[in-house]
Amino acid sequence: MPTPPIWNWQQKSWPDFRYPPEKLARLEADFLLHSGVVSGALKHVSADDRALLTVDLIGEEAMTTSEIEGEILDRASLQSSIRRNFGLTTDHRKVPPAEQGIAQMMVELYRRFDDALSHELLCRWHALLMNGRQDLAEVGAYRTGKSPMQIVSGSIHEPQVHFEAPPSMAVPQEMNRFIRWFNTTSPEGTAPLPILARAGIAHLWFVSIHPFEDGNGRIGRAIAEKVLSQGLGAATLVALSSALNRRRKVYYETLERSNRGMDVTAWLIYFAETALVAQRHTQETIDFVIAKMKLFDQLRGQLNSRQEKVLLRLFREGPGGFQGGLSAEKYIRLTTTSRATATRDLQDLVDKKALTRTGALKSTRYHLRLKPESPALRST
C-alpha cells in the first residue's frame, strides 16, 4: 500500500495553494493605508537622517533575519559594511565575511527590488549569505546531495522531523515553476496578486522547496521583502524579520502546520498580521527620528558638548533607549566628568524638557522625552 502524502509538495494539487481572498481583504487594505502614512512621514525626514534611518533599518533586518537562524552578527561591523555599500562615510574596520555578505545582499535587495526573480539572482544571494563558509558542498548553487533535506529537532536517536523538502533532483524543476509564478504574479505580470497574499505564499513556497543547503529561511524572508517593495512600487523599510523574530516560536509553528497541506489561510493571516506589526515598528522608528530632529532644533545652542554626546548616544540606542534607563553613573562613564557636573547636566536636561526623570536616589533614571508623531497609525 503506498504511503499517504505527508508534506505539501507531495499533494496532487501542489502547488495550488488555497485561501479565501476575503479573509485577507481588510489586512491588505490596512497595509496599503499605513504604507501611505509611512511614506508621508518620511517626507519630513532630512536627506541625511533618511540615509541614517535606512542604514539602521536595513542593519536591524539583517541582524534579526540571521538571529532567527541562530546566527549572531556583530552590529557595528554590519552597519559599517552597509554604509560602505551605500557610499557613506564610515570607519575603516575589517568586516568579517558573514557581515560583509549579508550587508551586500540586503543593500542590493533594497536598491534593485524591482528586478525580476531569476536563478542567477537567488544563487548570488546565497553566495553572499554563505560568504566565508567552508562547510557547505554547494555555495551559490542549488543543493545536489542524495540525503533527504530535513528540518529536525530532538536527539540523534529519536529525531522529530518537522519538514522534509523535495529531493534534490526535483529542485531545478520546482524552482523553474516558482520563479515563473513569482514574476507572473508581480504588479507588472500577467496575473498580479495582492501584496500580502503574494508575499506570504512566496515565502512559504520557497522554504517548502528548500533549494539550498543552508540559508533558505533568510532568502525566503528576503523574497517576501522584495514582494512588499514591488507591491508598493518603492524600496520598503518594513522590519519584517524583526517582527517575526519577536515571536519566533509562533513563526516556526505556523510554518510547520502550513507545510502539510494546500490550504494556507491560517499562514497568510498570520503573515499579514505580522507584516502590519512590522509596519508599525517602522513607523515608530521614523517617528523617533523626527522627534530627534525636533528636539535638537529646539535645543540648538543650549547644550554643552557632554550633554550633546549623551543625547546622541541615547538616540543611537533607538526608541527603547538604554535598558533600564540612563543613570548618573552611566552619564559619568560616557563623559568622564565628575558626579557634581553630571548631576547639574542631567538636571539641566530635565529642565529643558529633553529628559524625564523616574525613581529617586540610586534608583534615579533618565529617559528621552519624546512625543509620538503618528497617532493614526498607532491606534490600529
Based on the fold, state whether residues 200 and 331 are members of the same structural domain. no
Cut 0.75: pTM above it: yes
Based on the fold, state whether residues 33 and 164 are members of the same structural domain. yes
Based on the fold, state whether residues 100 and 194 are members of the same structural domain. yes
Question: What is the structure's pLDDT at 375?
Answer: 43
Per-chain mean pLDDT for the chain: 91
Closest CA to 199 of 270, 125, 284: 270
Which residue segment(s) compose the domain that 80 sits in? 8-286
| Per-residue exposure over 100-115, b if at least 16 CB sit within 10 Å of its own CB, e if not | bbbbbbbbbbbeebee
* Assigned domain for 59 exists: yes
pLDDT digits (tens, 9 = 90+) for 184-226: 999 999 999 999 999 999 999 999 999 999 999 999 999 999 9
Residue 260 is given by DSSP the state: T
Question: What is the structure's pLDDT at 50?
Answer: 85
* Assigned domain for 336 exists: yes
Based on the fold, state whether residues 235 and 339 are members of the same structural domain. no
Closest CA to 61 of 185, 243, 289: 243
What is the grid cell recorded at 353?
A: 524638557
The answer for residues whose C-beta is within 8 angstroms of residue 371's C-beta and 6 or more apart is 291
What is the grid cell recorded at 251?
A: 513563526
Per-residue confidence band for 3, with pLDDT thresholds at 50, 70 and 90: low
Cis, bond preceding 15 (omega within 30 deg of 0)? yes
Question: What is the structure's pLDDT at 202?
Answer: 98
Last residue of a domain, one of 286, 319, 334: 286
In whole angstroms, give the CA distance from residue 106 to residue 82. 8
For 109-113, 229-233, 316-320, which range has the lowest pLDDT when averaged over its residues?
A: 316-320
Distances (CA, A) of 67 to 73, 104, 202, 207: 8, 17, 21, 17
362 close to 347: Cβ distance less than 8 angstroms: no
Question: Does residue 177 register a pLDDT over 70?
Answer: yes
* Assigned domain for 203 exists: yes
In whole angstroms, give the CA distance from residue 231 to residue 197. 11
In whole angstroms, give the CA distance from residue 181 to residue 163. 23
What is the grid cell recorded at 283?
A: 513607523
* Assigned domain for 309 exists: yes
Mean pLDDT of 259-263: 94
pLDDT digits (tens, 9 = 90+) for 321-344: 777 899 999 999 999 999 999 999
Based on the fold, state whether residues 241 and 318 are members of the same structural domain. no
Question: What is the structure's pLDDT at 376?
Answer: 41
Mean pLDDT of 109-128: 97
pLDDT digits (tens, 9 = 90+) for 289-314: 888 888 888 899 999 999 999 998 88
* Assigned domain for 380 exists: no
Based on the fold, state whether residues 255 and 309 are members of the same structural domain. no
* Assigned domain for 379 exists: no
Return the SS3 of 103.
Answer: helix
Residue 311 sits in a domain whose CATH number is 1.10.10.10
Question: What is the structure's pLDDT at 233?
Answer: 94
Based on the fold, state whether residues 267 and 359 are members of the same structural domain. no
* Assigned domain for 2 exists: no
Residue 138 sits in a domain whose CATH number is 1.10.3290.10
Last residue of a domain, one of 251, 286, 321: 286
